Amino acid sequence: MNLRIEAVAIDSLMVRLFDRIDEANMPWILAASQRLSSAMGADLVDLVPSYTTVMVQFRQSPTAARGLIIEALQNLQPDAGAAGRRHEIAVWYDPSVGPELPLLAARSGLSKAEVVRLHSEREYPVFALGFAPGFGFMGLVDERLATPRLSTPRKRVAAGSVGIAERQTAAYPAVSPGGWNLIGRTPVRLFDREREGYSLLQPGDRVCFVAVDHAEFISLGGDDSPLEGQA
């Protein structure tokens, strides 16, 4: 860990703990987030954990905030009891809703079944939320599945679409444009205004994707409408 504090706005500081993305970062990021939240108390406006950083927005002077951050993070250690929640997210892996599934298989020299197995056998930490409400950036996928984003993003990606970009994976919480390589779809509602906290996923949570067949996908409330242009 290489702690640095960088100014990003008049009322915000970026606490940088690491220089590269790694699954092992998350326990440290969570521990730092908890210490900072406790230390800043009512002066904390917002706290945003991410891959290697925690952004802190505050109501006090930058000098006071910086000193408090340094003091709060002295002798920082991961807290084994601070792990996020574990989610099992059902996915129907099929080319009709995941058009890059056969392309990814061909590119990596794997069968479609092997792609599904490799994607669903790992437990992924949620690194950060962004791009859209409830969109959790997760990783890292098996190196054999790593693939660049589409050169031309789609104008419309269906809600629940599960995709891969480089060594990250994610599921789209709502209909939106997007350039990830789609391999399936989940019936799980990832963002809900009626849910406390709105987003099902939070940084530090862990996700396991569970392959289901078409019948189970539909029984769970999934929408099997093909993507536009994929029918």
Question: What local confidence, expressed as pLDDT, does residue 84 receive?
Answer: 83
What's the pLDDT score for residue 82? Answer: 62
**If DSSP codes are grouped into helix, strand and coil, which group holds residue 54?**
strand
Comparing C-alpha atoms, which of 74, 100, 67, 107 is closest to residue 1?
74
What is the DSSP code (8-state) at residue 75? T
Neighbours of 106 (CB within 10 A): 12
Q: What are 183-215's pLDDT values in tens digits?
A: 999 999 999 988 877 899 999 899 999 999 999
In DSSP terms, 154 is beta-bridged to: 178
Q: How distant is the alpha carbon of residue 1 from its chain centre?
A: 22
Q: Supply the mean pLDDT for the chain.
A: 93
Which stretch of DSSP H or E encloses residue 16?
A: strand 12-16
**61 vs 53: CA distance, rounded Å:** 21
155 pLDDT above the threshold of 70:
yes
The rounded percent of the chain whose pLDDT value lies above 70 is: 97
Q: Which pLDDT tens digit goes with each residue over 100-142?
A: 999 999 999 999 999 999 999 999 999 999 888 899 999 999 9
How many alpha carbons fall within 13 Å on the CB side of residue 73? Answer: 24
Q: Around 38, how many Cα atoms within 13 Å sit in the side-chain half-sphere? A: 9
Domains 4-81 and 86-219 share a fold: no
* pLDDT for residue 231 is more than 50: no
Domain segments of the chain as ranges: 4-81, 86-219
Residue 19 contacts residue 52 (beta carbons within 8 Å): yes
- Encoded tokens for 133: 């409400």
Instruction: Report the DSSP pairing between strands 86-91 and 161-165.
Output: unpaired
CA distances from 38 to 41, 57, 68, 143 (A): 5, 14, 11, 38
Mean per-residue pLDDT, 72-85? 82
Please state the rounded mean pLDDT for residues 43-64. 94
CA neighbours closer than 13 Å in the CB half-sphere of residue 99: 13
Is the CATH number of domain 86-219 2.40.100.10?
Answer: yes
The matching CATH number, chosen from 3.90.1520.10, 3.10.20.600, 1.10.645.10, 3.30.1360.40, for 4-81 is 3.30.1360.40
**Whole-angstrom distance, CA of residue 131 vs CA of residue 143:** 24
Lowest-pLDDT range of 71-85, 89-103, 115-129: 71-85
Phi-psi region at 48: left, alpha or beta (left = phi > 0; alpha = psi -120 to 50): beta
Query: Is the model's pLDDT at 66 over the cut of 60?
Result: yes
User: Confidence band (pLDDT; 50, 70, 90) for 80?
Assistant: low
Determine the length of the chain. 231
